[in-house]
Amino acid sequence: MTKFSKMIAGSLLAVALAGCTVGGSSSASTGTASAASGTSTGSASTAVDPSKMMIGVVQLVQHPALDSATQGFVDELKAELNLTDANFDIQNASGDSATCTTIANAFVSEKADLILANATPALQAAKNATTTIPVLGTSVTEYGTALGIKDFSGTPGGNISGTSDLAPLDQQADMFTELLPNAKNIGILYCSGEPNSVYQVTKVTEYLKAKGLNVTAYPFTDTNDVAQVTQSAASGSDALYIPTDNTAASATETIYNVTSKTKTPIIAGEEGICSGCGIATLSIDYYELGKTTGAMAAKILKGESKVSEMPVEYYKNPKKEYNEKICQELGITVPSGYTAIAAK
């Protein structure tokens, strides 16, 4: 166990999983930091010795989408560089941005060779912690918004790149007219503290209004007010939209407890939310997204690519999915082209 793992083991023990299990608060970690730690972001010629490599993973919270992205990343790097669990230090921040900062700073102190930042607050924490160690984000919706880059061109530059979980928002908006043609008043439920959720809300609102629909935003600040805000949203709307939102993803049971009583259908931004409380989504495969991020990391660690020159990569084949259980409860007929997913 690393010095950092010992330091926070008590505070994060509740979410700890053995070995390198995804979503755990602490994993088996390399005991020897690489002599090449802090791999140069400007050079593509210096590879890191795999036997001495340490990869730090800071994941915002444990839920299926983020867990899958981390697992895909780990599996891909293991396959490409012949690594073991001992090369990875996986830390879960239990939904707390301040803990993301603590974890990222510890990885810098430990001279990690690369940091994976899973979700926007984790990416922001890693950005603030280092300008030299390569940082790759995943499960981050819009990098310009997350990093405060105006007129974002697609390549963050510096020591940061990664993958985005943004599915085509215009096609998600199309699902309202396709599945819910009688819905005229659409409520958007999201966490106001997540910049990427705010970005999605702005874009989806534009697409929905262009269809002649009335749109009202219903922001909540954290899980403590999800139930109350959901009740207001469900009471004032024919249907709801929930973007890719980490806080909402961790509160789908609370949301469903409200909307199942009001019979309010939800179009979701990703599969995890859809399986918990939604009727349909245009979603990505987070495991495959993680694998793509792992492939990017392998190129950096092999000395084949410069992180500063790597554009953000996107999932190329989003798919239409529906929650069969909730659709049956609401009497919604789903057309062909949708794949059923299991409800939680």
Residues 19 and 102 in one domain: yes
Confidence of residue 50 (pLDDT cuts 50, 70, 90): confident
* pLDDT at residue 19 greater than cutoff 70: no
Residues 108 and 252 in one domain: no
Q: What is the mean pLDDT of residues 222-232?
A: 96
Residues 138 and 14 in one domain: yes
Q: Give the pLDDT of residue 46.
A: 54
* pLDDT at residue 44 greater than cutoff 50: no
Q: Provide the domain limits for residue 197.
A: 169-283+319-341
Confidence of residue 63 (pLDDT cuts 50, 70, 90): confident
Residues 65 and 15 in one domain: yes
Q: Give the pLDDT of residue 41.
A: 53
* pLDDT at residue 339 greater than cutoff 60: yes
Residues 24 and 117 in one domain: yes
Q: Give the pLDDT of residue 337.
A: 93
Q: Give the pLDDT of residue 49.
A: 79
Residues 271 and 158 in one domain: no
In the chain, the percentage of residues whose pLDDT exceeds 70 is 86
Residues 177 and 78 in one domain: no
- Cβ-proximal residues to 128 (8 Å cutoff; 6+ apart), any chain: 101, 104
Residues 252 and 206 in one domain: yes
Residue ranges in the chain assigned as alpha helix (H): 3-12, 64-81, 97-109, 120-129, 143-147, 169-179, 195-210, 226-235, 246-249, 252-262, 271-277, 286-301, 324-330
Residues 299 and 330 in one domain: no
Q: Residue 294 in contact with residue 81, Cβ under 8 Å?
A: no
Q: Give the pLDDT of residue 29.
A: 38
Tell which wins on pLDDT, 229 or 32: 229
Taking all residues of the chain, what is their mean pLDDT, rounded to a whole number?
88
Q: Give the pLDDT of residue 196.
A: 87
Distance from C-alpha of 299 to C-alpha of 278, rounded to nearest angstrom: 38
Q: Give the pLDDT of residue 12.
A: 39
**82-101 tens-digit pLDDT:** 999 999 999 999 999 999 99
Q: What is the mean pLDDT of residues 271-283?
A: 95
pTM beyond 0.85: the answer is: no
Residues 177 and 323 in one domain: yes
Residues 176 and 66 in one domain: no
**209-221 tens-digit pLDDT:** 999 999 999 999 9
Q: Give the pLDDT of residue 32.
A: 34
**103-128 tens-digit pLDDT:** 999 999 999 999 999 999 999 999 99
Lowest average pLDDT, out of 60-64, 229-233, 280-284, goes to 60-64
Residues 271 and 306 in one domain: no
Residue ranges in 185-270 assigned as alpha helix (H): 195-210, 226-235, 246-249, 252-262
Q: Give the pLDDT of residue 52.
A: 86
Total domains in the fold of the chain: 2
